[in-house]
Structure 1
């Protein structure tokens, strides 16, 4: 009986310690000092040296760029329907036969400006592929014309964040725009 009580007390103490540790007040943001290159190994990282239209683009805080999945993620100033309407009304299918996903990743800075673009091309099974150059250039040009963005607002400040637009294309037609 004493062994059962001792085990119960031991496990209760461990659970209590874990609860206290997980509920402890997190350090304030200004106390956080990232190690050198702390964010350059994350999957969402965009290397400015390899990105398009990055020269002259100002990132407000290169050590604190929010990921895609933040609760207050950045949005296009005219909303998803405004973005969709702009792209679909300006895109011209010039008898393309391409199918797949053309993904354009970029950064939205704290001022709501976009820059540092990276293009990824995949077939409908998500294997790497190459789109017709003209199709890719056209969608890239249209995407970079989306100028006014609403930046993320986190911890009482407008923040830089990563963003992506994924175009699902079937036989040269845009069938879906994500997110």
Structure 2
């Protein structure tokens, strides 16, 4: 089923991401629209090959010197769905300062982070009862004075 067909009035579970035709890729495949999992529902924990270490390593290799021109401090969290093929979509961004109050980072900086996440290709394909399933994942970028200091969780 493609993502565009998921326009429901009510979501199945709290935290589900509903397709938004203004920002989501209509070709992104959602395998099980009636069942949602979170990355922590699986025994392996973090759902990326090489785990958090590998993501941080890839960031440092691709963007070793990227600095937000505005020198902001805070967090950028990107939540998204990993489908049954290990592909990602339905990206949602939340930006906040070090006191967890909503702010806006420079758009170029946010776009660089989103581009990086979209390029990650080591997401684990998970199964439940012998069937490949979709799951929600998030990455939070901890930023100090415009520099990514850590990628969480």
Band of TM-score, shorter chain = 0.7 to 0.9
Contact residue 13 and residue 36 of structure 2 kept, 8 A: no
Contact residue 167 and residue 177 of structure 1 kept, 8 A: yes
TM-score, normalised with respect to structure 2: 0.82
Q: State the distance in 1 between where 2:10 and 2:149 align.
A: 34
- Which of these two proteins has the greater Rg computed from alpha carbons? 1
Match of 1:20 in 2: none
How does 1:1-179 map onto structure 2 within 5 Å? 40=11, 42-49=13-20, 52-72=23-43, 75-91=47-63, 92-179=66-153
Match of 1:12 in 2: none
Contact residue 25 and residue 89 of structure 2 kept, 8 A: yes
Shift of 1:54: 2.9
Shift of 1:65: 1.6
Shift of 1:41: 5.9
List gaps (5 residues or longer) in structure 1. Answer: 1-36
TM-score, normalised with respect to structure 1: 0.71
List gaps (5 residues or longer) in structure 2. Answer: 1-7
Q: Indicate the structure with greater helix content.
A: 1
Contact residue 76 and residue 95 of structure 2 kept, 8 A: yes
